Copies of this chain bind each other. A is one copy, B any other.
Amino acid sequence: VQCNSKRIITPVDCRYRCWETLMAILVAYSAWVYPFELAFMSKSSPHDAATKRLLYISEYIIDVFFGIEIILTFFVAYVDPNTRLLVWDSRKIALRYLKTWFLMDFASTIPFGLIVYVCTDRHKLGLFYQSVFGMLRFWRLRKVMQLFRRLEKDIRFNYVLIRCIKLVLVTLFFSHLAGCVYYILADTYPHSGKTWIGSVNPNFREGHVLDRYIASVYWSITTMTSVGYGDVHSMNSREMIFNSVYMMFNLGLNAYLIGNISNLILEGTRTTMEFRNSIQAASEFVSRNQLPESLKEQILTYMCFRFTAENLNQQGIMNELPNPIRKSICEHLFLPAVQNAYLFKYISRETLLLLVAKMRAEYIPPGEDVIVKKQAPENIYIIMSGEVEVIDSKEGKEQTTKMLLSGDILGEVAAMYGKPHSYTFRTKTMSQLLWLKTSSLIEAMQTKPVDHQLILKSFREMN
């Protein structure tokens, strides 16, 4: 495997990705230019000669690139669809390519027109072969599709943007294609006055190639978008047939566009929708029960905060990650805060890492009880940000006795003494708390007696 892989390129290689992107652009250019050439360049007019030569040369250059691509494909590993693993065996790679796309790629790359022209010196026959085999290059458009499928999965790019660009390119390509076909239909019709362009402008062939192209694409887009002004329209059965087919195709294309965009909008408005639904439900609850204005205000504010907190809490992702990665993240995020908390100031880094790996962070909206008086001490909390009130309730009346800020520890007294909490702790602002199971703390202290003493010392100093 090792020695083979020197000659075999991995498809996720950065340089190969660039090459693939270049190929996709060349394919797109080629698919764009080919119908234009066929429609507007086949009848040689003297003042288009320069353009024509340029287009032909560019095409031969592209063909060289495609030739390189064919050779390259024999050296690129592929993903087996069953096991989702890369296949590095060069024999398997070759076999797979030869079985699938090779013939099409080869046939569409060889410049048959040029060969025939050079061999037989008959320009017309060359042109005919050119046209027939030229169709094959549309086959290569799958490369562009592959590029877009890759970009859609690449989170560096905006998904909506990529899909919109794709839709725009598809639409533009088909209108360009249809425009060229329209012109071919008119150009090759025997009775020039009975064509869509000839009936409006009898000497259309003498116009500039750009004017003719604009007129063709204009009609094509008029039809595609179902505007159909009618200033130009089909004049003979041949045009009617093509136009009918094209209109039917557009029905599908339009539905495809609408379906895609409607899908994107659905995805885009979901969050707003959920937010509104939750707020709406709370608001209806208030009005149905005719709660007083002050309570209403409190409820709605709380619901808004809760929504924000939900967005900030990303514990779900943490839980999905494997152990080593999770440890690194915890270390990166929590270590600075934890080693400054008074309880853990003097303990060894090793124990700190052990504790930090077991901590979880959570955003809590204001007004929520983090610790309720008289409950058993399950967790201890470290405040990362925000403010927490210490509330003492005597004979049903609540009283704020203290305010804890970032860096303070909650519930450690109850945890160290192993007795129920003697205060209620309630968030005053949106707060990020770091929590650690009491049992995890005790376990860690049991395995490290030295650190146990240090923690106890810090605790006694403080309380």
Contact partners of A456 in chain B: CB under 8 A: none
Interface of A is mostly: helix
Contact partners of A252 in chain B: CB under 8 A: 164, 167-168, 257, 261
Binds B, one of A21-29, A181-189, A264-272: A264-272
A228 to B243: give the CA distance in the assembly, Å: 12
A244 to B172: give the CA distance in the assembly, Å: 10
B281-A314 in contact (CB<8A): yes
Is A215 on the interface with B (CB-CB < 8 A)?
yes
Contact partners of A259 in chain B: CB under 8 A: 258, 261-266
A218 to B240: give the CA distance in the assembly, Å: 6
Contact partners of A258 in chain B: CB under 8 A: 254-255, 258-259, 261-262
B333-A314 in contact (CB<8A): no
Which residues of chain A from 189 to 224 have any CB-CB distance to chain B below 8 Å in the complex? 210-211, 214-215, 217-218, 221-224
Is A308 on the interface with B (CB-CB < 8 A)?
yes
A226-B229 in contact (CB<8A): no
Which residues of chain A from 251 to 310 have any CB-CB distance to chain B below 8 Å in the complex? 251-252, 254-267, 269, 272-273, 275-276, 279-285, 288-289, 291-292, 295, 298-300, 302-303, 306, 308
A172 to B244: give the CA distance in the assembly, Å: 10
A237 (CB) vs chain B CBs: closest residue: B214
Is A49 on the interface with B (CB-CB < 8 A)?
no
Within the complex, which residue of B233, B244, B353 is in contact with A396, where a contact is CB–CB below 8 Å? B353
A430-B265 in contact (CB<8A): no
Total copies of the chain:
4
A46 to B215: give the CA distance in the assembly, Å: 38
Within the complex, which residue of B255, B283, B396 is in contact with A354, where a contact is CB–CB below 8 Å? B396
Contact partners of A227 in chain B: CB under 8 A: 223, 226-228, 247
B247-A292 in contact (CB<8A): no
A175 to B385: give the CA distance in the assembly, Å: 50
A349 (CB) vs chain B CBs: closest residue: B396
A155-B283 in contact (CB<8A): yes
Is A362 on the interface with B (CB-CB < 8 A)?
no
Is A438 on the interface with B (CB-CB < 8 A)?
no
Contact partners of A82 in chain B: CB under 8 A: 288
B263-A257 in contact (CB<8A): no
Contact partners of A291 in chain B: CB under 8 A: 329, 332-333
Distance from A301 Cβ to chain B, minimum over Cβ atoms (Å): 10
Distance from A320 Cβ to chain B, minimum over Cβ atoms (Å): 7
A325-B299 in contact (CB<8A): yes
Within the complex, which residue of B218, B251, B269, B272 is in contact with A243, where a contact is CB–CB below 8 Å? B218
A294 (CB) vs chain B CBs: closest residue: B328
Q: A227-B247, A237-B210, A321-B299 are in contact. Are A263 and B254 (CB under 8 A)?
A: no
B367-A282 in contact (CB<8A): no
A247-B221 in contact (CB<8A): yes
Contact partners of A324 in chain B: CB under 8 A: 367, 398, 426
Q: A251-B171, A281-B317 are in contact. Are A218 and B231 (CB under 8 A)?
A: no
A322-B367 in contact (CB<8A): yes
Which of A273, A306, A395: most chain B Cβ within 10 A? Answer: A273
Is A13 on the interface with B (CB-CB < 8 A)?
no
Is A230 on the interface with B (CB-CB < 8 A)?
yes
Distance from A185 Cβ to chain B, minimum over Cβ atoms (Å): 14
Show 19 residue pairs from A and B whose CB-CB distance is below 8 angstroms, ordered by the A residue.
Answer: A84-B312, A152-B272, A167-B252, A218-B240, A226-B227, A227-B228, A255-B257, A255-B261, A255-B262, A256-B261, A260-B265, A263-B266, A263-B269, A281-B317, A289-B329, A289-B333, A291-B333, A298-B328, A324-B367
Closest 5 CB pairs of A and B: A259-B262, A227-B228, A230-B230, A229-B230, A255-B261
Further contacts, 4 of them, CB under 8 A, given A210-B237, A325-B367: A168-B252, A225-B247, A226-B226, A259-B262
